[in-house]
Amino acid sequence: MRTRPLKVALLGCGVVGSEVARIMTTHADDLAARIGAPVELAGVAVRRPDKVREGIPAELITTDATALVKRGDIDVIVEVIGGVEPARTLITTAFEHGASVVSANKALLAQDGASLYAAAERHGQDLYYEAAVAGAIPLVRPLRESLAGDKINRVMGIVNGTTNFILDKMDTSGAGYSEALDEATALGYAEADPTADVEGFDAAAKAAILAGIAFHTRVRLDDVYREGMTEVTAADFASAEQMGCTIKLLAICERAADGGSVTARVHPAMIPLSHPLASVREAYNAVFVEADAAGQLMFYGPGAGGAPTASAVLGDLVAVCRNKLNEAKGPGESAYTQLPVSSMGEVVTRYHISLDVADKPGVLAQVATVFAEHGVSIDTVRQQGKDGEASLVVVTHRAPDAALSGTVEALRKLDTVRGVASIMRVEGE
């Protein structure tokens, strides 16, 4: 074993960063044995230097992150500060000064991963980011290494624990959205401002990263269609139950049937109870992968939290340190296909549409005509009426999303349609 330690600098020492530092200290001997050399925590950049950080010597703490990444004797930078800037500048500066980078920064990777890959390649360094997508779940490395010889056609999953907790509570307890959100906040699953989670921004960033790896093409955050789950109601769950489904906020990345394009999207969807993702409860994450040779695979586990995310960071740290010792380099960006990213309107999907209509003869015929005029085939229809009003539930066959959206707009214009109570896509069939 080499006796000279590999030096690691930590950018950020919050929930995840402090856990990374703790594991590096308490498991130092094991890490050294696995890597082939000791690993030394050589510096920690923070915003609040006066805060007590148990187990981290005060002399390692600095507020000058730029000076830390420019030291020149650092082998690996672990970036867990999040956000786009100053993280982007710090990472590229680290590459310039001979350090590889382990990051958990999904927002930056989704927005500007290509330039980070290019900087790493230019300076002969590694960029690893297992922790950016699904916490402790090994997902990035299987997609870009274990399945590198296969053709991945679809990646569909629950990649945000907060939204899964809320939807699970609405499903199992009958709670409304606000009540379930309050419980998630009280338990620490939801932030004081939950917008990034419940509006799908967090999941969309992860979808962009997954799509890029799976399809060997560049997919940016702006390419991902996004809908939040704040409008999901108890009535939607009741309708899902009647169909033998539940509701999840899904990140879906697909290769077109002809292989000529890809799509990435995040939205609530009904999913059959028979599908493996339907049984994912509480704040857990799971990702379902469909590949030509491997078939169907599912990755499941805790998708957030200090210890789970730190586990993913440390796994990357071991890999990068091994590369440093062996003067090797891990996989870089694979974007050789350069496939276009199609719009949501081109996605072929199914709809569950609930309409409030007048309870009189001919209404169903009018509604069916609208579907036919837009080239959308109806799978099932359920109608209940009382005192001149009725509820009409239509489930479609698969059709382009643009045709389904046009159908809904045309339905709103019918005199016999009082309103569109809910619209939800149906996936996993």
Residues labelled as active-site residues: 206
Report residue 152: phi and psi, to 5°.
-90, 130
Return the structure tokens found at 121: 């390649």
Tell me the C-alpha distance between 54 and 180, whole Å.
Answer: 34
Count the neighbouring beta carbons within 10 Å of the beta carbon of residue 24.
Answer: 22
Is 417:411 a contact under the CB 8 Å cutoff?
yes
Task: Give the single-character DSSP code of 55.
Answer: T
E runs forming strands in 273-318: 284-291, 295-302
Count the neighbouring beta carbons within 10 Å of the beta carbon of residue 311.
Answer: 21
Is 12:79 a contact under the CB 8 Å cutoff?
yes
Q: Which amino acid is at 3?
A: T
Place of tokens 């950049």: 45
- In the three-class reduction of DSSP (H, G, I as helix; E, B as strand; rest coil), residue 173 is classed as helix
Place of tokens 């338990």: 187
Is 247:237 a contact under the CB 8 Å cutoff?
yes
Burial class (CB within 10 angstroms; exposed 0-12, middle 13-18, buried 19+) of 118: middle
Question: Alpha carbon 325 to chain centroid distance?
Answer: 32
Task: Give the single-character DSSP code of 341.
Answer: B
401 to each of 113, 225, 353, 412, 426, how far by Cα in Å?
A: 29, 12, 13, 17, 12
Q: Which amino acid is at 322?
A: R
Burial class (CB within 10 angstroms; exposed 0-12, middle 13-18, buried 19+) of 359: middle
Report residue 356: phi and psi, to 5°.
-95, 120
Tell me the C-alpha distance between 224 and 194, whole Å.
Answer: 20
Among 206, 202, 204, 220, which residue's Cα sits nearest to residue 335? Answer: 220
